[in-house]
Chain A
Amino acid sequence: EAGVAQSPRYKIIEKRQSVAFWCNPISGHATLYWYQQILGQGPKLLIQFQNNGVVDDSQLPKDRFSAERLKGVDSTLKIQPAKLEDSAVYLCASSLNSFASAIYEQYFGPGTRLTVT
């Protein structure tokens, strides 16, 4: 099966500019996650969707970050305006989250490396 797709793979912008990332999860996966990973650290959850609804966005800096998953499939994450500290890798993951499987394993996309100058 096809994995989680993300684009772009790399993006360089100046501070105060805006940027958007796209994610297409594995087909049939109801749950989608966006993570921020700063170099040398573990992933930090930004937002979790279940189908097209937000389950948890408590760690999303809502003054500058927004995310949507309108049709319950692909998703976009936007930053506007960007700050220097937003330089990181943005990872998208998806999960089947079936009660029948009870595994809830997350599969990750290749990530988007964002550099803010």
Chain B
Amino acid sequence: ELKVEQNPLFLSMQEGKNYTIYCNYSTTSDRLYWYRQDPGKSLESLFVLLSNGAVKQEGRLMASLDTKARLSTLHITAAVHDLSATYFCAVGDSNYQLIWGAGTKLIIKP
């Protein structure tokens, strides 16, 4: 059974700092997704990672995938308040379903 673990589950940080969210998964998959959810809003796709060593960047966010280690990271550079949200990673399984992590609630203080 495919399981996905995210850590930390909660992160409070100051603006301008760097931090990383980790996503570990238990069995082989070739598709890893990162989503953002603002309070009371739906899920917004951030990144789709499809191969070992894949790296994608959008603004202050950078996601990477290591399929051998079954690990993806979401790195935040010089955080700003607007990045406060809950971030989910999800892993694609063979039935075209997503197995979700529990989410990381990120609070960025001015």
Chain A: residues with CB nearer than 8 A to chain B? 31, 33, 41-43, 45, 48, 55-56, 91, 93, 95, 97, 102-111, 113
Most buried by A among B50, B95, B97: B97
CB-CB contacts below 8 Å: B32-88 with A: 33, 40-45, 48, 50, 88
Closest CB-CB distance, B108 to chain A, in whole Å?
19
Cβ-defined contact, A95 with B96, below 8 A: yes
List 3 A-B pairs, minimum CB-CB distance, nearest first.
Answer: A42-B100, A108-B43, A108-B42
A-B contact count (CB 8 A): 49
Which residues on B sit within 8 Å (CB–CB) of A95?
A: 96
Cβ-defined contact, B50 with A42, below 8 A: no
Cβ-defined contact, B48 with A105, below 8 A: yes
The B interface is mostly helix, strand or loop, or mixed, namely loop
Cβ-defined contact, B45 with A107, below 8 A: yes
Closest CB-CB distance, B97 to chain A, in whole Å?
6
Most buried by B among A43, A56, A111, A113: A43
Question: Which of B43, B96, B102, B103 lies in contact with A104, CB distance below 8 A?
Answer: B96
Cβ-defined contact, A91 with B42, below 8 A: yes
The A interface is mostly helix, strand or loop, or mixed, namely strand
Cβ-defined contact, B50 with A43, below 8 A: no
Closest CB-CB distance, A89 to chain B, in whole Å?
8
Most buried by B among A42, A55, A106: A42
Cβ-defined contact, A43 with B100, below 8 A: yes
Cβ-defined contact, A104 with B31, below 8 A: yes
Which residues on B sit within 8 Å (CB–CB) of A108?
A: 42-44
Which residues on A sit within 8 Å (CB–CB) of B92?
A: 104
Which residues on A sit within 8 Å (CB–CB) of B103?
A: 41-42
Q: How far is the CA of A106 from the CA of B92 in the complex (A)?
A: 10
Which residues on A sit within 8 Å (CB–CB) of B48?
A: 103, 105
Q: How far is the CA of A53 from the CA of B98 in the complex (A)?
A: 19
Which residues on B sit within 8 Å (CB–CB) of A91?
A: 42-43
Closest CB-CB distance, A77 to chain B, in whole Å?
16
Closest CB-CB distance, B68 to chain A, in whole Å?
20
